[in-house]
Amino acid sequence: MSKDQLEQLVQARWRIALALTGAMLAIYLGFFLLVAYAKGAMGTQIVPGLSWGIFLGVLVILTAWVLNGIYVRWANRYYDEAIRQLKEVRG
């Protein structure tokens, strides 16, 4: 029984990891594509001093923190606990 549980946990772990990696990659590459192909728009200022480029750049850094936070929260709360239980069952 614990074999299936491990298998399920492994799948959940990698689903989350791949989804978050994909999100980071998409956001970052999206940002780079905007920088490369929408130079004009990225130079437009939202308020004086703050261009879209700088604003989105800061946002990418903040997103990296947030995605990390989501993963750590999930892993600390759910994953670690499930692993602990699995180890107990195995003795």
Partner 1 sequence: MSGSALGQPNPTAILFFFVFIALTLGITYWAARRTRSTEEFYAAGRSISGFQNGLALAGDYMSAASFLGIAGLVALSGFDGLLYSIGFLVGWPVVMFLVAEPLRNLGKYTFADVVAYRLRQAPVRSAAAVSTLVVVTLYLIAQMVGAGNLIKLLFGLSYEWAVVLVGVVMLAYVLFGGMVATTWVQIVKAVLLLSGAFLLALLVLVRYGLNPLSLFQDAAAKYGEQVLAPGGLVANPIDTLSLGLALMLGTAGLPHILMRFYTVPDARAARTSVSWATLFIGFFYLLTFVLGFGAMTLVGRDPIRAIDKGGNMAAPLLAEALGGTAFLGFISAVAFATILAVVAGLTLSGAAALSHDLWVNVVRQGKAPEKEQLAVARIATLLLGIVAILLGIAFKGQNVAFTVGLAFAIAASGNLPAIVYSVFWRKFTTAGAVGAILVGTLSAVILIYLSPTVQVDILKHASPIFPLKNPGIVSIPLGFLAGYLFSLLSQEKEAEERYREVERRVHLGGD
Nearest approach in angstroms of CB 69 to partner 1 is 8
Please name which of 67, 79, 78 lies closest in space to residue 22, comparing C-alpha atoms. Answer: 67
Sequence length of the chain is 91
51 binds partner 1 (CB under 8 A): yes
- For partner 1, which residue of 1, 65, 88, 91 counts as binding (CB under 8 A)? 65
Contact 2, 90 (CB under 8 A): yes
Size of the residue set binding partner 1 (CB under 8 A):
50
37 binds partner 1 (CB under 8 A): yes
Strand (E) positions, the chain?
Answer: 45-47, 50-51
Cα–Cα distances in angstroms (integers) from residue 27 to residues 24, 34, 69, in the given order: 5, 11, 16
For partner 1, the binding residues (CB under 8 A) are 6, 9-10, 13-14, 16-18, 20-21, 24-25, 28-29, 31-33, 35-37, 39-40, 42-43, 45, 47-51, 53-54, 57-58, 60-62, 64-65, 67-69, 71-72, 75-76, 80, 83, 86-87
